[in-house]
């Protein structure tokens, strides 16, 4: 037996924690954090430490599967599967045009640097606009709102120098996610403690007393979905008390826009916001003053409010707080985030834009358009099921799980049934793979050379991260990019990346086959720091390569548009509502009195975790966490069943008492449950909150994002008998 310890980094989530991998005879036996790592300092979470269970799972696919005519799967060689897939795709392209071929890249694809760029390049190569990712069901308004408002080219303040954080509906202690860097993984507990010890103040806005909220100086335990009201009130306090940076506003805000904003937020008094949001007016005033006093800091929001009604407005108001308080990097300062993979362009202390936020091709639904080479995911199910020009007939799912994760499960199930060809690249037979014609087995993290494309923007220091493959694949597996490249080879098109096309090796010359590293080199050919330098310095902080902010271009005309007309009008609409849920037709305030809100679980990553016993034990189901007083009032026992019904659909959940949840709120993780549309196994596999969601009711008209959190529902206790025949 040969045992070796190799250095790599975890890719179960985006946080990229460095790990030491103990390998005995090509089997992972142990994962440990790296104590002397300069920014992670030994940190890992339970998912990372349980990674051996992912690799050694007896149910893990290491060979491709093909659907037999009788509906069961059989193993098939990858070459044969790819020949058949390419032939069927060519036929679909010939009959319906390239738009009929779609890809959905999910979270699994995003934790794999070449996956998304190569899949997107494949779509360009075949001329298909039908490229979709989980970004458009995550927080797409982060991008669109920035484009519409204008972008500070040098970016937001450094977390390390922040005097105050305003954290609106994110919880990095569990999710490792925080907008604009800082608490993104890298040992969030120690990091927060250190920064608070240095005097950083923390304001948290969350209907749940989260792991982050417990550390806050002020926790505003808002009613979900009412953040636009709260943020408007905070802006009003800051402007009213003249706590803003008037000089900065004068220079960088488009003339007239501050007046528009001031007028639109005028009705949002602290007292009104207190009533509407269910938090004390004094706390709102204190929070506004705390944020404004800075002088440095960041206001940012996470998935919770970004999936609630009026999410684009919410994002706009969050950024308006940053604008009026001047929470941006200044000339001469060093940007802490690595940004090694960014193009070598200056970062200047100036506004660029605003820009058109939806310049892409037209979707066939709801007047929505694509952006950044992606189409809006909330329309894809209908693009599949609705006949006519442009109908999608084939779908490649690239490290995602639509049946579990997409909003509006009824439409998703119909779409999966309706496809002519469904190819899933996943190491598990997921709820989506249940409908697949082919499931291709991917090489998993430790079997790939890789870099962390997200964390490159979010590390709180210029930290270099790269890994080579530390494990040999055990079966007939392909990295995600290889699937696209192999299909492209068969279709006679080439995959163009920043450094040129992935070379063609027709004839199957194994030695000439490009490696992961070759493809990474092509993707990052225009990066400002050569990838080889990142490789050579993996695990080190390279302050010498930090970006220094340059002075504004003299004649630059970009300015922030804080008073965007549509959002100012929307503020009027919000004020006219008694609850934000009124954007959904069919919502009856007397009936739909509860709000399920999304949350992350430490043990799971979206739909991943149930297959790993050490994680599944922690959360055997996605409990519907509710305040104990609500459960008493409803007559629901702990671990008793409840029927949760939106105006659209219902599910059965397992109620669990949690003091940290605000009354009237259900805190429940998404992407659980079956592929049958029913919940008889809820105690073992959970139930999908996504069934409650209607993508056509109350959606964001800019991004298409559906209301995926803060959904108006009724709640009724039911007995286990309700599970029979559901």
Ligand X SMILES: Nc1nc2c(c(=O)[nH]1)N[C@H]1C(S)=C(S)[C@@H](COP(=O)(O)OP(=O)(O)OC[C@H]3O[C@@H](n4cnc5c(=O)[nH]c(N)nc54)[C@H](O)[C@@H]3O)O[C@H]1N2
Q: Which residues are near Mo ion by CB under 5 A?
A: 138
Assigned token pair, 440: 């291709």
List the x/- string, 17-46, binding to ligand SF4 by CB under 6 A. x--------------------------xx-
Question: Which residues in 41-80 contact ligand SF4 (CB under 6 A)?
Answer: 44-45, 47-48
Q: Site for ligand X (CB under 6 A): how many residues?
A: 67
Closest approach of Cβ 103 to ligand SF4, in Å?
25
Question: Which residues in 180-239 contact ligand SF4 (CB under 6 A)?
Answer: 185
Q: Site for ligand SF4 (CB under 6 A): how many residues?
A: 12
- 704 is a contact residue toward ligand X (CB under 6 A): no
Question: Which residues in 193-232 contact ligand X (CB under 6 A)?
Answer: 205-208, 210, 222, 224-225, 227
Closest approach of Cβ 605 to ligand SF4, in Å?
7
Smallest CA-to-CA distance from 656 within 683, 620, 631 is with: 631
Smaller CB separation from ligand SF4, 229 or 603: 603
Interhelix angle 281-293/227-240, rounded to 10 degrees, is 60
- 254, 560 Cβ separation under 8 angstroms: yes
For ligand X, the binding residue among 379, 667, 674, 675 (CB under 6 A) is 667
Which helix or strand (DSSP H or E) is residue 481 part of? helix 480-491
Distance CA 349, CA 346 (A): 10
Stretch that binds ligand SF4, among 14-22, 148-156, 379-387, 565-573 (CB under 6 A): 14-22
Assigned token pair, 65: 């599967």
- What 3-state DSSP class applies to 537? coil
- 279, 213 Cβ separation under 8 angstroms: no
- 615 is a contact residue toward ligand SF4 (CB under 6 A): no
Smaller CB separation from Mo ion, 138 or 456: 138
Beta strands in 222-369 (DSSP E): 297-301, 334-335, 351-352
Q: % helix / strand / coil in the chain, to the nearest 5?
A: 35, 20, 45
List the x/- string, 542-581, binding to ligand X by CB under 6 A. ----------------------------------------
Closest approach of Cβ 553 to ligand X, in Å?
35
List the x/- string, 332-361, binding to ligand SF4 by CB under 6 A. ------------------------------
- 439, 452 Cβ separation under 8 angstroms: no
Smaller CB separation from Mo ion, 137 or 261: 137
- 465 is a contact residue toward ligand SF4 (CB under 6 A): no
- 455 is a contact residue toward ligand SF4 (CB under 6 A): no
- What 3-state DSSP class applies to 244? coil
Stretch that binds ligand SF4, among 5-13, 57-65, 544-552, 639-647 (CB under 6 A): 5-13
Closest approach of Cβ 687 to ligand X, in Å?
12
How many CB atoms lie under 10 A from the CB of residue 390?
17
For ligand X, the binding residue among 122, 132, 159, 177 (CB under 6 A) is 177
Given the structure tokens 């060809």, which residue do they identify?
421
Distance CA 50, CA 697 (A): 40
The residue nearest Mo ion at its CB is: 138
Given the structure tokens 């707080």, which residue do they identify?
321
DSSP structure string for 626-677: E-HHHHHHHT--TT-EEEEE-SS-EEEEEEEE-TTBPTTEEE--SS-S-SSS
Distance CA 134, CA 432 (A): 15
Closest approach of Cβ 600 to ligand SF4, in Å?
11
Interacting residues toward ligand SF4 by CB under 6 A? 10, 12-13, 15-17, 44-45, 47-48, 176, 185
């Amino acid at each position: 037996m040969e045992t070796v310890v190799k250095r790599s980094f975890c890719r179960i989530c985006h946080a990229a924690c460095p790990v030491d991998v103990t390998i005995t005879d090509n089997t992972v036996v142990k994962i440990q954090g790296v104590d002397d790592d300069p920014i992670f300092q030994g940190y890992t979470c339970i998912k990372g430490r349980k990674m051996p269970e992912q690799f050694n799972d007896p149910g893990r696919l290491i060979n491709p599967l093909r659907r037999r005519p009788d509906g069961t799967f059989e193993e098939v060689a990858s070459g044969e599967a790819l020949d058949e897939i390419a032939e069927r795709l060519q036929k679909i392209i010939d009959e319906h045009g390239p738009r009929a071929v779609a890809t959905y890249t999910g979270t699994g694809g995003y934790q794999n640097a070449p996956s998304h760029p190569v899949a997107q390049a494949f779509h360009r190569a075949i001329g298909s606009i039908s490229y979709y990712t989980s970004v458009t069901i995550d927080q797409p308004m982060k991008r669109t709102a920035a484009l519409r408002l204008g972008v500070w080219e040098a970016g937001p303040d450094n977390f390390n120098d922040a005097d105050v954080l305003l954290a609106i509906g994110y919880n990095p202690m569990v999710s490792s996610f925080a907008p604009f860097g800082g608490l993104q993984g890298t040992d969030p507990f120690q990091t927060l403690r250190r920064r608070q010890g240095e005097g950083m103040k923390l304001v948290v806005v969350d209907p749940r007393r989260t792991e982050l909220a417990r550390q806050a100086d002020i926790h505003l335990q808002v009613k979900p979905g009412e953040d636009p009201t709260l943020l408007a009130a905070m802006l009003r306090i800051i402007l009213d008390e003249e706590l803003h940076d008037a000089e900065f506003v004068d220079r960088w805000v488009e003339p007239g826009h501050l007046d528009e904003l001031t007028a639109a937020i005028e009705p949002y008094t602290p007292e009104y916001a207190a009533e509407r949001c269910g938090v004390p007016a004094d706390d709102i005033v204190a929070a506004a003053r705390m944020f404004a006093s800075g002088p440095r800091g960041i206001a940012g929001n996470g998935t919770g409010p970004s999936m609630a009604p009026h999410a684009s407005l919410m994002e706009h108001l969050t950024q308006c707080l940053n604008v009026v308080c001047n929470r941006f990097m200044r000339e001469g300062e060093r940007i802490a985030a690595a940004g090694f993979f960014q193009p070598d362009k200056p970062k200047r202390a100036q506004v660029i834009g605003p820009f058109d936020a939806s310049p892409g091709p037209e979707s066939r639904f709801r007047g929505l358009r694509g952006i950044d080479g992606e189409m809006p995911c909330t329309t894809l199910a209908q693009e599949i099921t609705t006949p006519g020009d442009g109908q999608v007939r084939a779908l490649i799912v690239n490290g995602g799980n639509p049946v579990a994760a997409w909003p509006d499960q009824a439409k998703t199930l119909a779409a999966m049934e309706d496809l002519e060809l469904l190819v899933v690249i996943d190491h598990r037979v997921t709820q989506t793979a249940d409908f697949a014609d082919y499931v291709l087995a991917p090489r998993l993290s430790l079997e790939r050379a890789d870099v962390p494309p997200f964390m490159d923007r979010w590390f709180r220091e210029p930290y270099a991260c790269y890994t080579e493959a530390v494990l040999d694949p055990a079966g007939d597996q392909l990295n995600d990019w290889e699937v696209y490249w192999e299909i492209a080879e068969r279709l006679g098109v080439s995959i163009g990346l920043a450094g040129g096309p992935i070379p063609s090796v027709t004839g199957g010359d194994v030695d000439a086959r490009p490696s992961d590293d070759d493809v990474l080199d092509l993707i990052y050919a225009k990066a400002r720091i050569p990838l080889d330098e990142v490789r050579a310095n993996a695990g080190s902080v390279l302050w010498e390569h930090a970006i220094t902010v340059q002075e504004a271009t003299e004649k630059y005309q970009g300015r922030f548009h804080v008073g965007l007309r549509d959002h100012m009008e929307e503020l009027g609409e919000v004020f006219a509502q008694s609850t934000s849920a009124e954007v959904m037709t069919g919502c009856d305030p007397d009936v739909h009195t509860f709000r399920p809100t999304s949350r992350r679980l430490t043990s799971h990553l979206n739909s991943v975790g149930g297959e790993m016993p050490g994680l599944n034990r922690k959360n055997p189901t996605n409990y519907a966490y509710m305040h104990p007083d609500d459960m008493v009032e409803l007559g629901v026992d702990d671990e008793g069943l409840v029927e949760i019904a939106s105006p659209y659909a219902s599910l059965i959940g397992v109620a669990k008492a949690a003091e940290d949840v605000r009354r009237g709120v259900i805190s429940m993780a998404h992407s659980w449950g079956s592929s049958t549309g029913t919940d008889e196994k809820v105690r073992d596999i959970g139930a999908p909150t996504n069934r409650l969601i209607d993508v056509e009711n109350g959606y964001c008209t800019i991004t298409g994002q559906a209301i995926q959190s803060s959904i108006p529902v009724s709640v009724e206790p039911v007995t286990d008998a309700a599970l029979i025949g559901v």
